């Protein structure tokens, strides 16, 4: 997974189908605990609603995927919600669809379309962000060159993540893996070969 999308912040979107209200609440969630806490909060906000169906995907690779129909017929709510999140490459996100029953039964197909559609429409209305996988590298350079190097890094669109000052100046940068070789030669030119480059682990950052 070179990149994934997530929601920038919480958002709510409502649709009405045959007098039933479907209110989709979305939120970023770094852990299962955060996702479950958000689900519990939405339940409290709508104590009289008949159903609070939910789905969440945690992990850049989507390693945790869970969903609940919360009393709707099996497979008609949580699963279509989860499928919509996955289809949109969403990660670290939780969706809760609260249903106020309007007295008209929708049937299995209608429910699947309603719950999946509520999540899809909500994703269209909230702000989403793309996170891209980076290799972390640390550049150590002398104080004399550090200011110009940091400016050059930012000017060329590199993701400067942290700068720390000691005997030398350590600048942590996030790079797409494919850019490593080009970055090495650029760095050598920019610092007359004086900078030391250390490779670190991987992380995800704003694309």
Residues 23 and 100 in one domain: yes
Q: Provide the CATH number for the domain around residue 185.
A: 3.30.70.240
Asked if 122 contacts 54 with a C-beta cutoff of 8 angstroms, the reply is no
Q: Which of 109, 126, 143 is the last residue of a domain?
A: 126
Residue 185 sits in the same domain as residue 83: no
Per-residue pLDDT of the chain (207 residues; tens, 9 = 90+): 678 999 999 999 999 999 999 999 999 999 999 999 999 999 999 999 999 999 999 999 999 999 999 999 999 999 999 999 999 999 999 999 999 999 999 999 999 999 999 999 999 999 999 988 889 999 999 999 999 999 999 998 888 989 999 999 999 999 888 889 999 999 999 999 999 999 998 888 765
Enter the pTM of the model: 0.76
Comparing CA positions, the residue from 173, 155, 178 lying closest to residue 163 is 173
Q: How many independent structural domains does the chain possess?
A: 2
**Residue indicated by tokens 């809760």:** 96
Q: Cite the DSSP H helix spans in 66-177.
A: 78-87, 107-125, 143-155
Report the helix count and the strand count for the chain, using DSSP H and E.
Answer: 5, 10
Report the alpha-carbon distance of residue 116 to residue 80 in Å, rounded.
5
- Judge if 109 and 37 occupy the same domain: yes
Tell which residue, 145, 138, 133, has the closest CA to residue 163: 138
Range of the domain at 42: 3-126
> By the 8 A CB rule, do 23 and 98 touch?
yes
Spatial contact of 105 and 87, defined as CB atoms under 8 Å apart: no
Measure the CA–CA gap between 26 and 119, rounded to whole angstroms. Answer: 8
Co-location of 171 and 185 in the same domain: yes
């Amino acid at each position: 997974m070179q990149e994934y999308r997530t929601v920038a912040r919480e958002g709510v979107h409502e649709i009405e189908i045959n007098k039933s209200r479907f209110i989709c609440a979305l939120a970023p969630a770094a852990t299962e605990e955060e996702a479950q806490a958000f689900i519990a909060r939405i339940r409290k906000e709508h104590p009289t609603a008949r159903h609070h169906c939910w789905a969440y995907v945690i992990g850049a690779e989507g390693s945790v995927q869970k969903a609940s129909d919360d009393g709707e017929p099996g497979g008609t709510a949580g699963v279509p919600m989860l499928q919509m999140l996955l289809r949109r490459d969403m990660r670290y996100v939780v969706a809760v669809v609260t249903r106020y029953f309007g007295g008209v039964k929708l049937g299995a197909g209608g429910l699947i379309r309603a719950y999946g559609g509520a999540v899809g429409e909500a994703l269209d209305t909230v702000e989403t962000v793309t996170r891209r996988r980076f290799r972390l590298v640390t550049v150590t350079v002398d104080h004399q060159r550090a200011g110009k190097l940091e400016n050059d890094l930012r000017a060329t669109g590199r993701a400067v993540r942290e700068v720390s000052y000691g005997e030398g100046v350590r600048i942590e940068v996030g790079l797409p893996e494919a850019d490593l070789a080009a970055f090495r030669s650029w760095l050598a030119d920019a610092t007359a070969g004086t900078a030391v480059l250390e490779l670190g682990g991987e992380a995800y950052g704003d694309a």
